[in-house]
Amino acid sequence: MKLITKTKDLAAVCDALAQNEFVALDTEFIRETTFWPQLCLIQAAGGETEALIDPLSDELDLAPLFELLADKSTEKVFHACRQDLEIFFHKGSELIPQPLFDTQIAAMAVGLGDSISYDNLVRELLGRHIDKGSRFTDWARRPLSEKQLAYALADVTHLRDLYPTLKARLKTMEREHWVAEEMKTLTNPETYRMDPESAWKRLKIRKTTKKWLAALKAAAAWRESEAQVRDIPRSRIIKDDGLYEIAHAAPTSIEQLGGLRAVPKGFERSKPAERLIEALSDALNNPDAYAPHIDRTPPTPPNLGPVVEMLKVFLRVVAEDEGVAPRLIATVPDLELIAADDNADVAALKGWRRAVFGEKALKLKRGEIALVLENGKVEAVELED
């Protein structure tokens, strides 16, 4: 088993992979001590072609692979692909492999469980057992052993064999459009952009005053920029609790910053501290303009508890009938919003979810559907006018 370490060899194998209707792909990376994932290995399999690609090689340019990923005539098959796509997005100048097929999402759509693991999916559909002995490999270390390479390659050869079975099941169940809708989120560039000015969205909003929000947004943007430029985890810059303390204190001088418990001793004398104070001062100079707009959730109408409970029961009935996990169709917050508003902006009232559950849930609210107990089982029955 041989690693591809030269561009000319990668170009040849990508040409061979491109002759297939689909290519199975996976990556191995490490991220424990960096902000950006360090890509250590890329595995690919399509038809009879199988490849292990070494992105750490100084003699290899990934351009041929990026060309294959952008080729819309070949479907790209991954399992739980969000982190893989994030890597290709940032390394390939915002490249998103398309068309895309995620076997984890497909497995949920055909009723194989909620977020089924790759191991369990291989066992369920192929009857194969995956040897987990190399799971905790340091993929950045060279050379990789034959055992490690075999383990890595098996990830995509199993995936190559899974795809036709899942595709056939989706077609039989007429649920191909379910997966297609989910792929829209995964192929949206906004899913992978890491704009520092949007970093505050990852945090819990504890107050809604303009000054607090402006300080939190500025501190979060500063931390995101520092982490990206220095390529270290956000928590190594400052933890979330530290951002909340900074937002509360809203320091605009080095002296004020040095008095905070969340700030390490001596940090206030550093260049990053100067940049933080500059960001906070700019934000707090006009907090009304800089603070993010927070949509306040309108008060929940009274007496909705029974409606929500009824929708929960109905969701379980629909999920059982469809053979899928309830969470794939709707969440409890979705149900609470539907209980309060027939036009709630939730996934359960859009696309395939509306057809399967949402429209009927609204009929249930209007009294056009009743839940009845027959032979010990809850059933949904449409009422006649």
Question: Using one digit for the tens of pLDDT, what is the confidence trace for 266-316?
Answer: 899 999 999 999 999 999 999 999 999 997 766 667 788 899 999 999 999
pLDDT at 195: 96
User: Is residue 254 domain-shared with residue 327, that is, in the same domain?
Assistant: no
Residue 232 in domain? yes
Distance CA 366, CA 363 (A): 5
At 189-209, the pLDDT tens digits run 999 999 999 999 999 999 999
Phi-psi region of 18 (alpha: psi -120 to 50; beta: other; left: phi over 0): alpha
Residue 295 in domain? no
At 103-115, the pLDDT tens digits run 999 999 999 988 8
At 225-251, the pLDDT tens digits run 999 999 999 999 999 999 999 999 999
Residue 297 in domain? no
- Among 134, 167, 191, give the residue marking a domain's end: 191
pLDDT at 179 over 70: yes
**Res. 384 pLDDT band, cuts 50 70 90:** confident
User: Is residue 45 domain-shared with residue 173, that is, in the same domain?
Assistant: yes
CA distances from 200 to 11, 191, 206, 227, 240 (A): 41, 15, 12, 14, 10
User: Is residue 232 domain-shared with residue 350, that is, in the same domain?
Assistant: no
At 127-156, the pLDDT tens digits run 999 887 777 789 999 999 999 999 999 999
- Among 264, 290, 316, give the residue marking a domain's end: 290
Contact 224, 196 (CB under 8 A): yes
Residue 299 in domain? no
- Among 290, 320, 349, give the residue marking a domain's end: 290
pLDDT at 1: 72
Task: Tell me whether residue 43 is exposed, middle or buried, using C-beta atoms within 10 angstroms of its C-beta: 0 to 12, 13 to 18, 19 or more.
Answer: buried
- Average pLDDT along the chain: 94
User: Is residue 337 domain-shared with residue 260, that is, in the same domain?
Assistant: no
Across residues 320-326, what is the average pLDDT?
Answer: 92
**Res. 221 pLDDT band, cuts 50 70 90:** very high
Read off the CATH number of the domain in which 308 is found. Answer: 1.10.150
Radius of gyration of the CA atoms of the chain, in A: 25
User: Is residue 57 domain-shared with residue 185, that is, in the same domain?
Assistant: yes
- Closest by alpha carbon to 249, among 237, 261, 240, 239? 261
Residue 125 in domain? yes
Q: What are phi and psi of 367, to 5 degrees?
A: 80, 15
**Res. 375 pLDDT band, cuts 50 70 90:** confident
Read off the CATH number of the domain in which 245 is found. Answer: 1.10.150.80
| Tokens, residue 121 | 């999916």
pLDDT at 215 over 70: yes
User: Is residue 179 domain-shared with residue 214, that is, in the same domain?
Assistant: no
At 79-131, the pLDDT tens digits run 999 999 999 999 999 999 999 999 999 999 999 988 889 999 999 999 999 88
Contact 199, 220 (CB under 8 A): yes
Distance CA 314, CA 309 (A): 9
Residue 127 in domain? yes
| Tokens, residue 117 | 């693991």
User: Is residue 185 domain-shared with residue 45, that is, in the same domain?
Assistant: yes
| Tokens, residue 82 | 């969000």
Q: Is the dihedral of CA 218, 222, 228, 233 positive or negative?
A: negative
pTM for this one? Answer: 0.90
pLDDT at 297: 65
Q: Return the percentage of the chain with pLDDT > 90, whole number.
A: 86
Task: Tell me whether residue 214 is exposed, middle or buried, using C-beta atoms within 10 angstroms of its C-beta: 0 to 12, 13 to 18, 19 or more.
Answer: buried
User: Is residue 173 domain-shared with residue 263, that is, in the same domain?
Assistant: no
User: Is residue 186 domain-shared with residue 207, that is, in the same domain?
Assistant: no
Read off the CATH number of the domain in which 122 is found. Answer: 3.30.420.10
Q: CB-based contacts of 352: which residues, under 8 Å, 6+ apart?
A: 175, 177, 178, 181
DSSP state of 298: P
Judged by DSSP in three states, 115 sits in: coil
Question: Cα(first)–Cα(last) distance of the chain, in Å?
Answer: 69
Residue 1 in domain? no
Q: In what order do the strands lie in the sheet with 38-46?
A: 49-53, 38-46, 22-30, 75-78, 100-102
- Which amino acid is residue 18, in one-letter code? A
How many structural domains are present in the chain? 3
Residue 296 in domain? no
User: Is residue 254 domain-shared with residue 113, that is, in the same domain?
Assistant: no
The helix or strand, by DSSP H or E, that contains position 178, with its residue range, turns out to be helix 176-186
pLDDT at 308: 94
The helix or strand, by DSSP H or E, that contains position 246, with its residue range, turns out to be helix 240-249
- Closest by alpha carbon to 44, among 82, 72, 16? 16
Q: Which domain holds residue 169?
A: 7-191
User: Is residue 239 domain-shared with residue 326, that is, in the same domain?
Assistant: no
User: Is residue 162 domain-shared with residue 39, that is, in the same domain?
Assistant: yes
